[in-house]
A = this chain, B = another copy of it.
Amino acid sequence: MRGNLYIVSAPSGSGKTTLLQNLLRTFRDLRFSVSYTTRQPRGGEQNGVDYFFVDRPTFLGMVERGEFLEYAEYYGQLYGTARSFVEQQLEAGKDIILDIDVQGARQVKTKFEDAIAVFSLPPSFVELERRLRSRMLESDEAIRRRLDIAKGEILFYRDYDYIIVNDVLENSILLLESIVRCGSAVASHQKHRIEEIIASFGGTV
């Protein structure tokens, strides 16, 4: 049986990374697709684990050869998901999760309409601002830019199957786990198994 493809998107600062880390600890079989990016590694980030770090000409070469399932420019840097990895894993029956932005999610949804897309939202603008400031990582200017981008991103919520309003972290973790668990029960993903059961009843689909 083919694996399920999950997409998680969220405005920067809404707590997505923590959610994904928890999810991957719970579902050991879930494969995380490591993105390619032209941006520089930040402290502690490892090549091949957090991202594949490549230079711009390399990235653009991959674009030309159609090697990306989706790619997008964000803050002047390119980010992309390798098509071959995703397709191989799904064919092998593995579930995959993509951590991609709203532009990327839309591209993937047009290619894999069965993909299960989750959008994590902060409970309010004020709370998102508070979270970004509490990281104390960035200038006022950078934070304002992130908030502006978030304003645009949340308007894409209609592209998503599920919305997690990330208010109480434990609840959001449980909700994302439930969504992934449900994936294996989505009727349209189980045609093959259901056909077998119907055949065992002596029926035809």
The answer to whether A163 and B175 touch (CB under 8 A), given A198-B155, A202-B151, is no
Contact of A182 among B154, B178, B200 (CB under 8 A): B178
Within the assembled complex, what's the spacing in Å between the Cα atoms of A193 and B163?
Answer: 10
Interfacial residues, chain A to chain B (CB-CB below 8 A): 118-119, 121-126, 150-151, 154-155, 157-158, 160-165, 174-175, 177-179, 181-182, 184-187, 190, 193-194, 197-198, 200-203, 205
Contact of A187 among B125, B163, B197, B201 (CB under 8 A): B163
Q: What are 17 A-B residue pairs whose CB atoms fall within 8 Å in the complex?
A: A118-B185, A154-B197, A154-B198, A154-B201, A154-B203, A155-B203, A157-B194, A158-B187, A162-B182, A162-B187, A163-B187, A174-B181, A175-B182, A175-B184, A178-B179, A178-B181, A179-B182
Asked whether B151 lies within 8 Å of A187 as measured between CB atoms, the reply is no
Within the assembled complex, what's the spacing in Å between the Cα atoms of A163 and B196?
Answer: 14
Instruction: Give A82 Cβ to nearest chain B Cβ, in Å.
Output: 27
List 9 tightest A-B contacts by C-beta distance, closest first. A178-B178, A178-B181, A124-B200, A162-B185, A125-B200, A125-B201, A163-B187, A182-B182, A151-B201
- A203: chain B residues within 8 A (beta carbon): 151, 154-155
Instruction: Give A184 Cβ to nearest chain B Cβ, in Å.
Output: 7
Nearest B residue to A128, CB-CB: B201
Asked whether A165 lies within 8 Å of B197 as measured between CB atoms, the reply is yes
- A163: chain B residues within 8 A (beta carbon): 185, 187, 190, 194
